[in-house]
Every structure is written in C-alpha cells, then in structure tokens.
C-alpha cells in the first residue's frame, strides 16, 4: 500500500517538473519575443499557456485524490500541500510570461525602433536574473534541497537596480503622446519580470517549509 502511495507521489513530482519546464520555456520565449518583436512567437506563448493550466488542474486533482486515498501524515502531507501551492506559483509565472507576450502583440511594428540597444541589454540582464531564480527554484524542488531554496532571492537587489535603470532610461527625455504606449509597456515588462522573481522565491519558501515544517520561513523577509 505504501509503495503505491510513493509511486503516485513520484508521478506527481514528475508532473510538477514537466509543468516547470513548460513555464521556463514560456519565460524564455516571452523575452525572446520582446527583444526581437516577434509577434508569431508571442502568439505561440499564449496558445501554449493552456497546457500549463492543464497541468495545474491535473496535479491539484491528483494531490486531493492521493490525500483522500492514503491520508498521509507529517512530511508527506506537507509535501503534497506544498505541491498544491507551488503549482499555483508556476501557473502565475506562466501568466506573467503571457502578459509579456501581450505587450509584444500590443506594440506596433514601428515601435520596434524604440527598443534601443541599452534597453534591450537591461531587459536581457534582468531577464537572466529571474530565469536563474526560476531555474534554482525548480532545482531545489527536484532535489528537495533546502540549501538551494534558502539562497533564492539573493539577486533581488540587483534586479531592483536594473529595473530602476530601465525606468531612468525610459524617462530620461521628454516624451510625447506617441511614446506613452511604449514607455508604459516596457515599464509593465519590468514589473512582470520582478514578479516572476518573486514567485520563484515563493516556491523556495514552500520547499523550505515542507523540509522543515517551520512556518516562520514565510515571514523571514517581512
């Protein structure tokens, strides 16, 4: 009976990792779509988001059924409960990638020239930071490694500084009405990237919780 439980638990874990891979792909592609103003890639991100949502619902259902059938306790129960929340963070990251794709689709073709090299470099730098956070979050989940999870969020200050640099660049000169859409859109992109980093840190906090059972990890940064 216990073997059946752990076999099913392993299956759920693999589903989470598969969902995480799709989310990583969505974040990477959303940045590529923005940098290259690739509307086709942006449309592809939106279309594939349904698969992430399907994983979210299927994994949640599997967690509920497994708890009902086996009534796990202690660490196993914490793990299942944490998975139910981790997939919500992953689903939100997927939504944020879709939001970036929507920005690409909103910006007109002539706006492509406005995305100068300096802004591109800053977006790439900030994007690399949050992609690294997401990668470490998924690695810590896969390995059940509290040490990796505890290090998440260390790049927050660097990401915040890059965001400020993006703002300074965007607002460095007087903007007319024609620039409002562009400035607003890139400002939103930086906000979406910041939130992707935050969601990745939240995943790390959940990993720390199911490893330790200590709720204080959710309040350490307050």
Backbone angles phi, psi at 175, to 5 degrees: -110, 140
CA distance 24 to 130: 10
pLDDT at 174: 52
44 token code pair: 């592809």
Average pLDDT, the chain: 90
Average pLDDT in the 184-196 region?
94
Query: Beta-carbon neighbour count of residue 61 at 10 Å?
Result: 10
- pLDDT at position 211 over 80: yes
Query: Model confidence over 107-157: pLDDT tens digits?
Result: 866 655 567 788 889 999 999 999 999 999 999 999 999 999 999 988 888
pLDDT at 101: 96
Domain boundaries, the chain: 2-209+214-218
- The residue among 187, 191, 73, 205 whose CA lies nearest residue 119 is 187
Query: Model confidence over 82-103: pLDDT tens digits?
Result: 999 999 999 999 999 999 999 9
* CATH (residue range 2-209+214-218): 1.20.58.220
CA distance 82 to 77: 8
CA distance 98 to 45: 6
Average pLDDT in the 69-82 region?
93
Give the CA distances from residue 109 to residues 38, 41, 166, in Å, rounded to whole numbers and listed in that order: 10, 14, 21
């Amino acid at each position: 009976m216990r073997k059946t439980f752990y076999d099913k638990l392993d299956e759920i874990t693999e589903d989470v990792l598969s969902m995480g891979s799709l989310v990583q792909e969505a974040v990477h592609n959303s940045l590529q779509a923005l940098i290259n103003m690739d509307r086709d890639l942006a449309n592809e991100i939106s279309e594939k988001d349904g698969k992430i949502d399907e994983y979210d619902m299927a994994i949640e259902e599997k967690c509920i059924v497994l708890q009902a059938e086996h009534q796990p306790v202690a660490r196993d129960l914490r793990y299942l409960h944490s998975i139910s929340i981790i997939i919500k963070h992953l689903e939100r990251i997927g939504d944020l990638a879709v939001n970036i794709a929507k920005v690409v689709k909103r910006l007109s073709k002539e706006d492509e020239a406005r995305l100068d090299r300096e802004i591109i470099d800053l977006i790439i730098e900030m994007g690399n930071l949050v992609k690294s956070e997401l990668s470490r979050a998924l690695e810590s989940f896969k390995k059940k490694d509290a040490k990796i999870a505890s290090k998440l969020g260390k790049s927050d200050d660097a990401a915040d500084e890059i965001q400020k640099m993006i703002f300074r660049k965007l607002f460095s000169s007087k903007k007319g009405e024609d620039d409002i859409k562009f400035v607003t859109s890139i400002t939103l992109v930086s906000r979406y990237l910041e939130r992707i980093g935050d969601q990745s840190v939240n995943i790390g906090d959940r990993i720390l919780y199911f490893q330790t059972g200590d709720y204080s990890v959710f309040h350490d940064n307050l």
